[in-house]
Amino acid sequence: MRFASVSCIGCGNMGSAFMRSIARAFPDVSRCAFDTDTEKLKAMDASPCTDERDAASKGDIIILAVKPQVLSQVCVKLTSLENRRYVSLAPGFTTAQLSAMLGTRDVVRFMPTIAAAVSASPVAVCWDEADPPDWSGDALELAGCAGTAMHIPESLMASFIGVSGSGIAYVLQFIHALALGGVQAGLPYRRAVELASATLSGAAALLEETGAHPAELVTQVTSPGGTTIEGIHALEEGGFTASVMNAVTRSARKSETFSKPPGDTAP
């Protein structure tokens, strides 16, 4: 590890979640942060900075965790800083675009989920494959503190966002829906949430442990004329599989639009 300090610009859900994971994994690394929302800044597990440049000047690695709609405005304020290493959490902006905006090739992209707050997030990591940063090892180590770091080609980043970055919301929505079904069947909501969460965790553990195809496991618990096939039929009547696939692809496409000028609808 070749970094002693990390700065975060942007103290929203993702930035604060990532900084909490850094605090747990690297307690000796100093942390500072800046956000225009002073209340969010006060709640951050980091020393407050006066502005974006102040934060960037104090970190060996600077995490850009602002909303994509304001990322370019923030980058303009940092262009004259030298020897800075940046990690962007914003979807849609490529490493080439970020490098142009920041005036440096030392740019890496991360895509975690809010599960970074409990160090349980997959974290996609990408950089310019034609000119990898000499601190790529540090980048992977930093990403790993939030869960599991996965180096992927940048061309797959939008797909990762659709499945994981945004997908955690679909999973939480499914748990909520499953719990509501439990309430309808007579369970108290909190108990139904507990049961739905445990069921989801068990399914994930079974997949990881066995390496089986999900469909293979589904067939093992689906008896002819039984309760499970009745429920699966109800899901498909509502377009369950197609709806999930559409959610992933629409999220992936949306992530690619943030860096386009207003009115630009080109693919």
**Residue 135 has what pLDDT?**
93
Domain limits, CATH 3.40.50.720, in the chain: 5-157
d(CA 121, CA 115): 5
* Mean pLDDT of the region 84-100: 92
DSSP 8-class letter at 104: -
Determine if residue 68 is left, alpha or beta; phi over 0 gives left, psi from -120 to 50 gives alpha, anything else beta: alpha
Residue range 150-196, pLDDT digits in tens: 999 999 999 999 999 999 999 999 999 999 999 999 999 999 999 99
Q: May I ask the CATH architecture of the domain 5-157?
A: 3-Layer(aba) Sandwich (3.40)
Backbone angles phi, psi at 45, to 5 degrees: -85, 65
Residue range 121-142, pLDDT digits in tens: 999 999 999 989 999 999 999 9
Q: How confident is the model at residue 92 (pLDDT cuts 50, 70, 90)?
A: confident
Q: May I ask the CATH architecture of the domain 167-254?
A: Orthogonal Bundle (1.10)
Domain limits, CATH 1.10.3730.10, in the chain: 167-254
Q: How confident is the model at residue 3 (pLDDT cuts 50, 70, 90)?
A: confident
Q: How confident is the model at residue 205 (pLDDT cuts 50, 70, 90)?
A: very high
- Cross-strand bridge partners of residue 57: none
Residue range 254-265, pLDDT digits in tens: 988 876 654 554
DSSP 8-class letter at 47: E
**Residue 257 has what pLDDT?**
82
Asked whether 80 and 52 are in contact (CB, 8 A), the reply is: no
Q: Report pTM.
A: 0.87
